[in-house]
Structure 1
């Protein structure tokens, strides 16, 4: 990762930059839902600012990751779920995505979580490779779960243990 990139907790003031980053990186390769309108709110009850980490370069946000409890159930409190990840196109390939995933896993572990889960579209090979490098494994596939631009796309579920990791990068 570039030495001048800092991973930090998001602040309410980052909302506009994170939304712009999300809109600029949105594609059917990574998103089954519609593109967010420019005036959409990002932080809300389901997506509190405390669940976001950002990668900052200089004075600008070049990446973000969002994670939250996997469900509202107390019996499931030990599991966190990655809700979104984006890196500015110009910053891709520099290790920022992996640093964000590892930072989210470390924050979840520090909060008492034992497992991190996520969902990724079956045709998003680059994201699946990133998650595998970070220690995630496929735990299930919902075949043809989404119809995107006339093609059926699998919903791939991935998971990683947090209880046996030391926070180091994974091969």
Structure 2
């Protein structure tokens, strides 16, 4: 019998500590362009990253196992029809169980219901599993910034991807 899918919901202020811990526990130079977090840790939520900007995934027996942060890419009225993924984390314990897919699908649907026409994201070139998942969900490579980041002594491409949010 297949495992039940993750439950996806909007984050609340009560998720501050579990999401911060999840984010720090799963930090990796394979996925992150910012330095490894060190104490004292910054708050997970702040004025630019509100609970309402996050969807949270939960799995029976594991609790909170992932989140996605989706925000307008700028404050420009001419850009208001676009939403951008500014973070997607899945706990190592829950990988390959449909969590990232469920979060992305829910985020795209929520953005579409709120009037967005496009979803964009950025992913590091070597992160092939993420790029394949995004491609399977209709995201296309729209640009590549070669060698944009220097991570662990290697220059890494920044891959820009996007997809329309029109009802299929």
Superposition deviation, residue 128 in structure 1: 0.5
Alpha-carbon shift at residue 3 of structure 1 (Å): 1.6
Which aligned segments of 4 or more residues in structure 1 are displaced greater than 6 angstroms?
A: none
Equivalent residue runs for 1:17-28 within 5 Å:
17-28=18-29
Match of 1:46 among 45, 48, 51: 48
CA distance in 1, matches of 2:151, 2:46: 27
Give the counterpart of 2:78 among 40, 50, 75.
Answer: 75
Name the Cα RMSD after superposition. 1.4
8 Å contact kept, 2:6–2:98: no
What is the CA-CA distance between 1:56 and the residue it aligns to?
Answer: 1.2
Q: Which of 40, 43, 59 matches 1:57?
A: 59
Unpaired runs of at least 5, structure 2: none
Aligned to 1:169: none
Q: Which residue of 1 aligns with 2:146?
A: 143
Return the offset for 1:35: 2.1
Q: 1:151 to 1:74 in 2, by over 3 A?
A: same
Q: Secondary structure at the match of 1:144?
A: strand
Distance 1:4 1:109 in 2: 22
Following the alignment from structure 2 to structure 1, what is the Cα–Cα distance between the partners of residues 136 and 26? Answer: 21
Superposed counterparts of 1:91-106, under 5 Å: 91-106=94-109
Q: Distance in 1 between matches of 2:36 and 2:79?
A: 30
* Structure 1 residues 2 and 65: CA distance shift in structure 2, 3 A: farther
Q: Which runs of 5+ in 1 are unaligned?
A: 167-171
Task: Give the drift of 1:11.
Answer: 0.6
Query: Cα offset for 1:57?
Result: 2.2
C-alpha contact 2:6 2:102 (8 A) present in aligned 1: no
Q: 2:81, 2:5 → 1: CA distance?
A: 33
Residue correspondences, number: 165
Structure 1 residue 4: deviation in Å?
Answer: 5.7
Given candidates 66, 87, 108, the residue that maps to 1:84 is: 87
Partner SS, residue 155 of structure 2: strand
